[in-house]
Amino acid sequence: TDRLALYEQYLNTHANSQVNTQSFALNSDWQSNMSETQYAAKFSQIEEYLKSGDCYQINLAQRFNAQFEGSPWAAYIKLREANKAPFSSFINHPQGAILSISPERFISVNNNVVETKPIKGTLSRKADALEDQRQAQILAASAKDRAENVMIVDLLRNDLGKVAKPGSVHVPSLFAIESFPAVHHLVSTVTSELDEGKTAVDQLKAAFPGGSITGAPKIRAMEIIEELEPHRRSIYCGSIGYLSACGNMDTSITIRTLVCHKAQIYCWAGGGIVADSKVELEYQETYDKVNKILPLLKQ
C-alpha cells in the first residue's frame, strides 16, 4: 500500500511531458451516436431476435463524444475521485489516452484460483438515504435483473469450465448488491481452479470478451451488436489488467471507460436487453451509468 501511494504521488507530480496535469475542458456538448428514437428502433430489432430464439440477452450500447482541450490525465483524476471505482486505470499512448473508471472485475487468477464477478442489474442512486436503501432493495428483488444476471453467470460458468479442473466451478455469491456513487449494481461471483497444464492466459482466451457486456449466446450476441451499433466499441467492453511473472493475473471489464483522441473524447454506455426489458427503462439506464461522468466533465 505504501509503495502504491508513493507511485501515485510520482504520477501526480512527474507525469511525462505529453500529459499536462493542469486543466481539462469540453469545447462542445456531448452528442450520442443514436437518438432515443433510433435506440427504440434497435431495441425493437433485438426484441424480434429474442422472440425468434436467436439469443436470450443482447447488450446494446450508445456512444457519446465531445470536443475537448487540455489534459486527459486531469480529466481522469477528476473522474476517479468522483467514482471511487476499484479498477480505475489510465493509459497514455501516442495515439491517445484511455481513462477507465471500471467497477467490474473480469478475470483474476491467484495461485491457480480463478474468479470472475459479472455485473448484471443496475439501478440509480438516490440522494435521500432511505430512498437509496429502498432502491437497493428493489434491485435485489427484481426478477428481471436476477434473470439477466443468472444468464451471464451460466455463460461464465461455461467459460471458466473450459480450462478448469472438473468439478471446481462454483458460484459462492449470487445477486449481491454493490453500490457506487452513481448506481447500485447486482453482482455475482463465479470461481474455479485451473486444470493441470492450464494458465491464466488460457483462461483469458477461453472467456474473452466478457459475457456481461455481450449477451448470450456470446457469438450470436456479438454478431447482433456488430449489426446494430453505429460504431465499433474500441477499448469499451474490452479489458485492462496485468499478468505477473508467477502466473497470477487480474483484469477489468472496460465499462465506464473513455478514449481521448485528436481533441475528441468518447464515452460509451449500454445495458443488457432481455425478453421482459422495457425500452424506456433500458434507455434511461444507459444515462444512469454515466451520471458521474458526462456531467462531471462539463463542469
Residue 14: predicted pLDDT: 53
Return the amino acid letter for 2: D
Task: Please give the domain boundaries of the chain with CATH numbers for all domains.
Answer: 24-298 (3.60.120.10)
Distance, in Å, from the CA atom of 52 to the CA atom of 143, rounded to the nearest integer, reads: 22
Q: Is 272 exposed, middle or buried (0-12, 13-18, 19+ CB in 10 A)?
A: buried
Distance, in Å, from the CA atom of 67 to the CA atom of 87, rounded to the nearest integer, reads: 26
- In order of 131, 133, 135, 181, 197, the CA distances from 127 in angstroms are 8, 10, 11, 10, 51
pTM as predicted: 0.89
226 assigned to active site: no
Cβ(173)–Cβ(221) below 8 Å? no
Residue 19: predicted pLDDT: 47
**Model confidence over 75-99: pLDDT tens digits?**
999 999 999 999 999 999 988 999 9
Rounded to a whole number of angstroms, the CA Rg of the chain reads: 19
Q: Which of 42, 117, 120, 198 is catalytic?
A: 120
Cβ(61)–Cβ(236) below 8 Å? yes
Distance, in Å, from the CA atom of 53 to the CA atom of 285, rounded to the nearest integer, reads: 25
Please report the DSSP string for 168-199 in residue order.
--EEEEEEEEEE-SSEEEEEEEEEEEBPTT--
Crossing angle (nearest 10°) for helices 200-207 and 143-161: 130
Q: Across the chain, how many H-helices and E-strands are there? A: 9, 15
Distance, in Å, from the CA atom of 234 to the CA atom of 227, rounded to the nearest integer, reads: 16
Residue 13: predicted pLDDT: 60
193 assigned to active site: no
**Model confidence over 10-25: pLDDT tens digits?**
666 655 444 445 799 9
Per the structure block, which three cell numbers stand in for 254? 472496460
**Cα-to-chain-centroid distance, residue 130:** 27
Cβ(272)–Cβ(120) below 8 Å? yes
Q: Which of 104, 148, 193, 282 is catalytic?
A: 104
Mean pLDDT in order along the chain per 10 residues (299 residues): 68 52 88 97 97 95 97 96 95 94 97 97 94 96 94 96 98 96 95 97 97 94 97 96 96 98 97 94 95 93
- The continuous run of DSSP H or E covering 202 comes out as helix 200-207
Residue 299: predicted pLDDT: 84
